[in-house]
Amino acid sequence: MLENIIARKKECETLQESLESKTSQLIIVYGRRRVGKTFLINQFFDDNFSFKVTGIFDKPKEIQLEAFTKALNFYFNLNIKVQTSWFDAFDILKRSLTEQKNISKKSVLFFDELPWLDTQKSDFLPAFEWFWNDWGCAQNHLLCIVCGSATSWMVDNIDHNKGGLFNRQNSRIYLEPFNLNETREFLLTKNIDWSPYDIAECYMVMGGIPFYLNLLKPKFSVSQNIDNIFFKKKGELWDEFEHLYHTLFSNSEAYIKVVELLSTKRIGYSRQEISEKTKLAANGKLSRILDNLVYSGFVRSYPFYGNKKKQTLFQLCDYYTLFYFKFLRENAGHDENFWANSYDNSSTNAWRGFTFEQMCKDHIQQIKKKLGISGVLSNESAWFVKADEENDGAQIDMLIDRRDHVVNICEMKFSQDEFTIDKDYEQNLRRKISRFIDVSGTKKTIQLTFVTTYGVKKNMYSSRVTNQVVLNDLFKELD
């Protein structure tokens, strides 16, 4: 039912093309937990599947096969006993689909939460490979969709498979959270008509995660909703953190240790720093943890400007996780009005400032559109230099390094009114820009760009600002 799908235009186009294809299709759908993968597939196909099965979290092979057998009995009107072998189960699926074959339309198979079906030493993946390579890929009427929240498993075992599924997938859909404009569109379907400022405040807590956004109630304010969902005893998301990481990653304790560290520094840490501070060995295991966090959308890998020898920075970018470590871990259930009571204190305002920077980085295309450089190739990076005996340290959280020989130095400021540049801040800006030019050795034109909620207040110090982006610009729909 396409009318129920918000945004996801490109994803629906991919699904439609696969549905109309005259060859067999294997589609990979992955993305962060709660981002709406299952909803998208169910709504697009209106639950009209030839076969559908959903893996069960943390259950053994026997339970998974029982669910698979029940799905076979339901979709093909069979009455078979629970299978004990994945090869036998897939053989029954193959024979049932052959008998049901209708060359006039696609037979759609949907394997949801596929990683949970693949329990240890179960031979699920070899059996699935055999099913697809031996028979499925040659059936032009077949459309097979495999979906999972354990993004790292999906990437390693399906997308980057080096065995029987190597280069077998026809399409991949990585489902991202809603951006600000899509979030506003989603909220309007729930009769929630908030200002851009209120939506941004909500976004900084929940991100664009449809499952979280769906919990919002139109009769409550933003603060009331946040208190009810997160801080009320047994609120809907009071224990979300444990479920989120334990259902996505084996050895979740190591992953939590990494994201907890990353929550403490706005610009992030290098791989070596993460190893030193978490006591996790700087080996392939740590690299895999970081890769998996990046694949799953919890961490952003961020290059350091102009110095390829410097290690990539890893920055926590999942809004809920940032909110959890800043406020929820210690306060959930203790003060049911915590958010309303701490709305304007220094800690909350500091969090808003940092999280607004994350939101800007997630909307870099909207920023480029406002600057009129959508078609210009660019790299986004961070830069910092430590203090020495003669100079203060300096840090720039976002640089847009453009192919047209311009560098935008971006200052991102969240405030309840126009942002005021005073004398001290203007001097700090001059020092920062001067240090960047001296240390980086860049010969490119420097443009100071401010991204703020309501713009920069015009005064004797504001003329240094080359161009501005305001909150409303982040809500613009991309072409």
CB 424 within 8 A of CB 464: no
Residue 287 has phi, psi (to 5 degrees) of -60, -40
DSSP letters along 170-218, please?
A: SEEEE-PPP-HHHHHHHHHHTT----HHHHHHHHHHHTT-HHHHTT--T
Q: What is the CATH number of domain 365-474?
A: 3.40.1350
Architecture of domain 2-174: 3-Layer(aba) Sandwich (3.40)
Residue 95 tokens, joined: 């024979």
CB 448 within 8 A of CB 396: no
CB atoms within 10 A of CB 333: 15
- Per-residue model confidence (pLDDT) at position 263: 94
Query: 394-402 and 406-413: which strand pairing?
Result: antiparallel
**CA-wise closest residue to 432 among 272, 263, 305, 271:** 305
Residue 117 has phi, psi (to 5 degrees) of -70, -25
CB 391 within 8 A of CB 435: yes
- Per-residue model confidence (pLDDT) at position 330: 81
Q: Amino acid identity of 107?
A: S
Half-sphere exposure of 452 (CA within 13 A, CB side): 19
Q: What is the 8-class DSSP label of residue 3?
A: G
Q: Which CATH class is domain 242-321?
A: mainly alpha
- Mapped onto helix, strand or coil, the DSSP state of residue 96 is helix
What distances in angstroms separate CA 342 from CA 222, 223, 237, 255, 306, one per listed residue? 13, 10, 19, 30, 40
- Per-residue model confidence (pLDDT) at position 309: 53
Helix/strand/coil (H/E/C) assignment for every residue in 387-413: CCCCCCCEEEEEEEEECCCEEEEEEEE
Question: Please, what sign has the CA dihedral across residues 347, 350, 355, 358?
Answer: negative
- Per-residue model confidence (pLDDT) at position 166: 46
Length of the chain: 479
Domain residue ranges of the chain, discontinuous segments joined by +: 2-174, 180-238+332-357, 242-321, 365-474
- β-partners of residue 327 are none
**CA-wise closest residue to 430 among 467, 394, 385:** 394
Q: pLDDT 10s digit of each residue in the chain, 479 long?
A: 677 899 999 999 999 999 999 999 999 999 989 999 999 999 999 989 999 999 999 999 999 999 999 999 999 999 999 999 999 999 999 999 998 877 678 899 999 999 999 999 999 999 999 999 899 999 999 999 999 988 888 888 887 765 656 456 678 899 999 999 999 999 999 999 999 999 999 999 999 999 999 999 999 999 999 999 999 888 889 889 988 998 888 889 999 999 999 999 988 999 999 999 999 999 999 999 999 999 889 999 988 887 655 578 999 999 999 999 999 988 765 788 999 998 888 889 999 999 999 999 999 999 999 999 999 999 999 898 888 888 888 999 899 999 999 999 999 999 999 999 999 999 999 999 999 999 999 999 999 999 999 999 999 999 999 999 999 999 999 87
Alpha carbons 278 and 384: distance in angstroms, whole number? 23
